[in-house]
Structure 1
Amino acid sequence: MRVVLAGGGTAGHIEPALALADALRRNDPNVGITCLGTERGLETRLVPQRGYELALIPPVPLPRRLTPQLLSVPGRLNGAIKAAANILDQARADVLVGFGGYVATPGYLAAKRRKVPIIVHEANPKPGLANKLGARFTDHVAVSHSDSPLPNATFVGIPLRREIATLDRLAMGDKARSYFGLLPDLPTLLIFGGSQGARSLNRAAVAAAPAFRQAGIQVLHIVGPKNTEEPEPAGPGGPQYVTIPYCDRMDLAYAAADMAMCRAGAMTCAELTAVGLPAVYVPLPIGNGEQRLNAEPIVAAGGGLLVDDAELTPEWIAHQLLPALADPSRVAQMSEAAGRMGRRDADVALAKMVYDVVRAAHQQQQ
C-alpha cells in the first residue's frame, strides 16, 4: 500500500499525520508513505526526524480577505496542484489523507484530478477552508468532534504519538518528577503555552510564584525560548518552581503533573484528555474562537477549568486554581472526567479507515 499524507504547516496538522504514519508502519513495515509539505512549514524538520519521506510543493497561502494577493492565487495554486499530482504519480499513491492547512488544498485537487481516493481528517470543531473543500470530493471524513458540520463525518478523534497514547501517568509519576528535579510528594502544576501565546501565561504564573510556594505546590513551567519572565529562586527544601525553555519529553511532563495550565489547541486538548490530566484552559484570544470550543466540552464534563486570557491574573490563580489543586479528591475526580473525554486509539481507527478505503478502491478496479 502506498499512502500520501497532506498535513504540513503547523504541528497541529503534522503530528496527527505522523501518528497515522506510525500506526500504518506498525501494521505493515513495508507500507509506502510520502508526506506532502512546503519549505516554509515545520514539516521540513519534523517529518525527516521521524524517518518519513518528505516531498515539497510550492506554498500557496490563501488570503482570508479580499486583497491584491488574491489575483495571484489561481496561477500559483495551479502550479502547486501540478507538483502535488506529480508526487502522487511518482508515489503511485493508493490514497491521499489530508489534515487541512494550505498543503492539503493542492493535495485534494491533485488527488481528484488523478482519481486517487481521498480521506479528510479534521481536528477542529470549525473546519478550515481546505477540509471543507476536500470533504466535497469524498465520503470518507474523519473528525475529532462528534458534532462536526462536515458531511459524512465519522468520529475518530485525533491520532496521537504512541508515547502519549500509551502513557500510564500514575505509574510514571515518581520517575517523571525525579527527571525534572521535582519532589515526589507535592501537588504539581505543569504550565506551558505552546509555540505561540505563552507570554501572558508566563507573566501571570511567575507573578503567582510566591502563592504557589505558600500553598505547598511545586511547578514545572515550560516557558518557551523567548521568555523574559523568571521567578525568584526558591529556598532549599521548599516547593520548587522549575523553568525550562523547551521540553522534548512531554510524556514525562504530563506524568509529573497533577494538573496543567495551558492553551486549548486541538492537539493539547486531545493529549491531556487521553492521559487523564485535568487542566486550566486559557484559550488563545486571537483566531476564530476554536480554542474555546475545544475546551468547553472537557470543562462541561468536569475535566478542567476555563478562564479568558484577559482574566488570567495572579489573583485568579490564587483564588480559583490553588484551592482546586490543593484538594486531592477534587483533582482525582477531574482526572477521571478528563480521561472519559479522551481517545487513545484514534491512530488505529484512522489507519483502519485507510485500509478500508484502499481495499474498496482495489475491489472496484477489479
Structure 2
Amino acid sequence: MPLKKNSSRIAKDTDLFTLFRAHMGKNLHLARIRLICLFITALCKSKSVNFVKVAAAFESPSLASSCMRRIQRFMAEAELPMKLVSSFIFKSLPIKGKLILVMDRTNWKFGDSNINILMLGVAYRNVAIPLLFKMLDKRGNSSTQERIGLVQDFIDWFGAERIDCLLADREFVGDRWLKFLNFNQIRYHIRIRNNFRVFLPRKQEYIKASHLFNAVKVNQCQHYRHIVQLGEELCYLSATKSVVQGKIELLILVSFNKPHEALTYYRERWQIETLFRGMKSSGFNIEDTHVTVLDRLEKLMMLTMLAFIWCYRVGDYIDTQVKQIKIKKHGRRAKSCFKYGLDYLSETLLSGFNKLNFCVIQILSCT
C-alpha cells in the first residue's frame, strides 16, 4: 500500500505533526514541533545522528545546507524540556501496569571530550525503552545525587506507585543511595562487589559478602536467610555462580525485600545493553555526532529517544501481530523489536511503500 502522495512538505508529515502537536503544542512553537517531526523521520531513514546525513534525509524542498542550518539553530536556541519528551514516551509505553526500571551509564570519547550519559529505562520484551537521562559533565561514575535526582524526577512526574523495582549494576551502590530507595519503598535488586563488607545483626560481626556464599555451586541460586546491614541500611542478599570466559564468577545482589525474586528480576538488567546498542552501532549511531556541548547533546539525545520509541512500537506491533521475529538455534531472537521496527520504518520512509499496510504513525499514539 503506497503512503500518502507527497504533494508538498506539509502533506508529507501531517499525521506525525498532528500527533506531536497534540502533546507538545502548549509548550513548543509549531515550527519547533515541525522540526522535531522532520528530524526523527530523517533519523529513521539515515540511521545516523550525524547532522549532515540527517539534513540530507529531510523531507523538505530546501537545500540540505538550509536544513542543516535549521537543525543547528534548533540545537543552539530551542528549549526542549525533558519532562515533555519523557511524558510522551511514558504515554506511548505498551505497559500500563508497574514498570521494571533499569539504570546504567554509557560513555564514549570524541576528540578530547568525554560524553557520559546516565540513563533510566523501562525493561520490556528484550529491550529497555529510554525514559529519562542526565548528561554528566565529567568522566567516570555518577554521583549519588545524580542517581537520586533521576529517580526523583520519575517519582514526581509519574508516581512511585508505577515502579515494580529498580535494577542496576555494581556502580550503583552507596549508603545514601540505598537509604533513598528504602525511604521511598522502591524495591531494588542491585549487584554489589564481592569484597563488600556487610554487618550481620544476628552475630554482631562484619564479614565479606562473598564469604556468605562460599558453598554456592555453579548455576545454583542461594538466598541468605537473614537480614544484613550494608552501611547503615538493612537489606537482603542473594547470589549465584556462573562460568564466564572459562572462569567462575560470583554474582551477589542486594535487595529491598523478596530476595528469592532477585535473580529472576536481575536477568532483565541486560536489556539496557540492547538499548545502548540501538542508540549506537545497531541503530542510530549516536557516536557519529560531533556535538559536545552538553545542552545541545541533551536535545539530540531526546530527539533520538523519540525516534527510538517510534521504532520500538512499530517493531513490537509487527512481531506480535504480523510476523514474529525469528528465533535462532541458540534460542535468542534474531533481532530486537527496536531493530525490527527501525529496519521496517527506514524501508517504508525511503521507498514510499507501506508493504504491511498498517499506520506506522498512528501506532505511536497508542490508539
If the length of structure 2 is used for normalisation, what is the TM-score?
0.24
The higher-RCO structure (CA 8 Å, 6+ apart) is 2
Q: Is the strand fraction higher in 1 or 2?
A: 2
